[in-house]
Structure 1
Amino acid sequence: MSAPITKLPATVSGTASLIRPSFSAGLLLQDDDLTQIVAYVRDMSRRFFRTLFGCGVMCGFEITSTVECGKLKIVVGQGLALDCEGDIIELRQPQTIEIDPTCGLPIPPEVWISICHKERSCAPRDVLCSDTEGDTASTATRIREGYEIQLLAERPKCVCGCCERKAHAEDEPKPEDASANAEDEREGQREGFLARPRDPCYSEHYAGKCACDCECECVLLARLSYVKGQGDVASDVAIDYDVRRFVRPALIRDPLAGI
């Protein structure tokens, strides 16, 4: 028989941020009781997504860009992303944005494309008992999730994305350090499916650190490099996806399929 484990007298207890409602028979419910049901599920989902995946693009958001009649035409494909708070940003169909130099706004050498999470209240309904006598007040009964696509001449300060890979080229292991990088050279890494643990964009995820709650509602999608030719006609428009953070989970093969 093993000896009992000695419990030290030092203990610490506290509370978490999640709060769920509790009901009982005969209880008079108020509006905040019903709202707390939705708030609990939403807050739990946001923390789960933010901690498990972090912020970034989950699928889609392919960018195409052309120059037509001197205008820079950018098409953002449909996709799904997570912002820094764990909110879902959904683009259900492609959207087109144009930059027209004739409108007084010249096309910058670089164009940073981001998408931000937005909400708006809708479906107003009259309130039966209003505080104002003689007037009928109304309040919104639904919140519609939305988005806003932004084109910026420089990288936004508060955005979910990756640092430029070239800026961290010196951090990559040298050929003589092949043994230290052996873990990265598995089949998935050689095929290009897995993010490198040494990549500054994913290093904290591999290290098991909690995702930040920086309250950024925008996710970086791409960076466009615009090179002018003769007569302000673009000679080349390059699309750089390295600045975005991709967080789609990878699938593994069935371990029983080969038996």
Structure 2
Amino acid sequence: MSTNDCRCGTAVLDRGAIERPRFFPRQLVTPDDLTLGQEYFRNKLRRMVRYLHGWGTVCGAKVVPSDPLKPWKVVIQTGYLLGPYGDEIVLDHEICFDLRTRCVAASSGDACTEVVDPLCPDQTLDAREASKPAWIAVRYKEMASRPVRVQPVGCGCDDTACEYSRWRDGYELCVLDACPDSHKGAAPEWDPLIHAHCLPNCPACPTDPWVVLAKVEFDDKGNVKTIDNCSCRRMVLSLAPFWTRCKEPVTTVGGTGTSTGT
């Protein structure tokens, strides 16, 4: 896991050296060496995502009403997003989000399955005020998984210690009290893409990890009244839905020779 406070990957223009481990025969390899190798490629991918593609929602992740009997909940559909620090956020299943709960972390599950923290099972907020909207946002989160027994040191008999053997890609959904500044204002113009302009500056590392999905307003009882998926959502331009055909002439083979035509 990266220790960089910015989370944009080490050596982003002004941060240290970019290096990876070099292995050789009879080398003593430590966990730090192996982790460095993973972080090298992860940070390289993060930089590519940030500088080449940007961040925001790529597709899906639409927020829709939940069960009419539970009007304080919404369903977040499947989707794919790029986080501000270059991490991919994969919503591979629909999840039911209780807006009375400030945050919930998830990596798997089904829509409207109760996600309860066993240590704080009743940690919910009061019904929201009708005059105060909320913004549903998501951020990337690593989750430790697959605990395994750790071998005792030397001749010790203590084999009860455990360590997590995997990092699982996950995400955290939260309710924000305001639309972040990074999501405000009009979208950039398309003119720089097709006309010559001055050399662009490299974008600064974002100051917050959130990708906003929707703005939600409530009625007098604190139940969901309106869901706005667009006013505070950043969309990433994707060429995946677009394709074209070539215009190579048709080649006719046979007879006295080969001919081409349109």
**What TM-score, normalized to structure 2?**
0.64
Quick one: which amino acid aligns to residue 18 of structure 2?
Answer: L
Point out which structure has higher relative CO (alpha carbons under 8 A, 6+ apart): 1
Structure 1, unpaired ranges of 5+: 1-13, 169-194, 200-205
Partner of 2:257: none
Distance change >3 Å, CA 50–CA 138, structure 1 → 2: same
Task: Work out the CA distance in 2 between the residues paired with 1:152 and 1:221.
Answer: 11
Structure 2: distance between partners of 1:68 and 1:61: 20
Alpha-carbon distance in structure 2 between the residues aligned to 1:15 and 1:73: 43
Alpha-carbon distance in structure 1 between the residues aligned to 2:65 and 2:168 = 30
Structure 1 range deviating more: 243-252 or 132-141: 132-141
Paired residue for 1:110? 133
Distance 2:128 2:207 in 1: 31
> TM-score normalised to the size of structure 1?
0.65
Correspondences of 1:49-128 after superposition (within 5 Å): 49-65=49-65, 68-69=68-69, 71-99=71-99, 104-108=126-130, 109-128=132-151
User: Take 1:52 and 1:164, find their aligned partners in 2: how far apart are those partners?
Assistant: 22
Cα distance, 1:126 vs structure 2: 2.9
Partners in 2 of 1:234 and 1:145 — Cα distance?
32
Q: Does 1:257 align with 2:250?
A: no
Q: Residue 202 of structure 2 corresponds to which residue in structure 1?
A: 210
Question: What residue in structure 1 maps to residue 116 of structure 2?
Answer: none
1:224 aligns with 2:226: no
1:243 aligns with 2:243: no
CA RMSD across the alignment: 3.6
**Structure 2: which 5+ residue stretches go unaligned?**
1-13, 101-124, 193-197, 250-262
- Which stretch shows the higher mean deviation, 123-132 or 90-99? 123-132
On the 8 A contact 2:150/2:162 being kept in 1, the answer is yes
Deviation of the 1:197 alpha carbon: 3.3
- Seen in structure 2, the aligned counterparts of structure 1 residues 54 and 96 have a Cα distance that, compared at 3 Å, is same
Between the aligned residues of both structures, percent identity stands at 24
Mapping of residues 22-37 of structure 1, within 5 Å: 22-37=22-37
Note the alpha carbon deviations across 1:3-42, whole angstroms, 9 max, x for none. Answer: xxxxxxxxxxx99642111122232222222222211111
Report what 2:117 is aligned to.
none
Counterpart for residue 19 of structure 1: 19
* Structure 1 residue 162 corresponds to structure 2 residue 183: yes
After superposition, give the CA deviation of every residue in 1:204-223 in whole Å (9 maximum; x if it has no partner).
xx973323323532211121
- Do the aligned partners of residues 71 and 256 (structure 1) sit closer, same or farther apart at CA in structure 2, a change above 3 Å counting? closer
Partner of 2:190: 197
**Count of aligned residue pairs for this structure pair:** 205
Equivalent residue, structure 2, for 1:40: 40
In terms of fraction of residues, the more helix-rich structure is: 1
Please give the residue correspondences for 1:165-180 in structure 2 after superposition, counting only pairs within 5 Å: 165=186
Per-residue CA deviations over 1:95-144 (Å, capped at 9, x if unaligned) read 112346xx732344412010111112122233334399553333221111
Question: How far apart, in 2, do the equivalents of 1:86 and 1:38 lie?
Answer: 15
Contact 1:63 1:76 (C-alpha < 8 Å) held by counterparts: yes
Quickly say closer, same or farther: Cα 1:121–1:132, change in 2 above 3 A: farther
Aligned match of 2:171: 147
* 8 Å Cα contact 2:82-2:88 kept in structure 1: yes
What is the rounded CA distance, in whole Å, between the counterparts of 2:44 and 2:224 in structure 1? 49
Rounded to whole Å, the distance in 1 between the matches of 2:222 and 2:206 is 40
